[in-house]
Amino acid sequence: MIFNTVSVPADIRSESISVAEDIFSTESHPDQMQATQENFERLKSISLDAVLYDVSENGKLHGWLVSVPTTRELADKFLNGEIGEQSLLEMTPRLSEYDTVYLCAAATLPEYRRQGVSKKLTNEAFSRLPLSADFEVYIWPTTPEGFAVTEKFKQETDRILHIKQ
């Protein structure tokens, strides 16, 4: 079952924040978006579907995806190193439609990897987020798993894909 930031049970959200810190070490990387309640509220104000969770029927978290629908101008500044992830989130205006989505963080718990969880969440985000028909995708892979998912995504999408190095 797919939940968004409003409908996900509190214990699942807490578990995802804890696991995110273990995987991404955001506290030691100030340029990365921090896993804070304030940032979750900001994401929610942009779109209730900016954070999606894949949870089994018995309540077990499989994985989650954090997306930032944003403008191409801001995403390009991020890609070029002019602003960091946190600034990208803070500077993104509230719009009725976005021409760009930044796939900020995808995480799948180890026991559910290689089962299409990230792909399912990404496709769900693309269908739920307020995106224009010709939206472009920005990605910043930071882990070996992230690079692998990015390579697979490049092969399977017809979207214009921008990758931060």
CA 138 from chain center: how many Å?
10
Maximum distance among all Cα pairs of the chain, rounded to whole angstroms: 44
For the chain, what is the mean pLDDT? 87
Architecture of the domain delimited by 2-163: 3-Layer(aba) Sandwich (3.40)
Q: How is the chain split into domains, by residue range?
A: 2-163
CA–CA distance, 26 with 54 (Å, rounded to integer): 22
pLDDT, tens digit, 9 for 90 and up, residues 138-148? 998 877 878 88
pTM assigned to the model: 0.87
pLDDT in tens, 111-134: 988 898 989 999 999 999 999 999
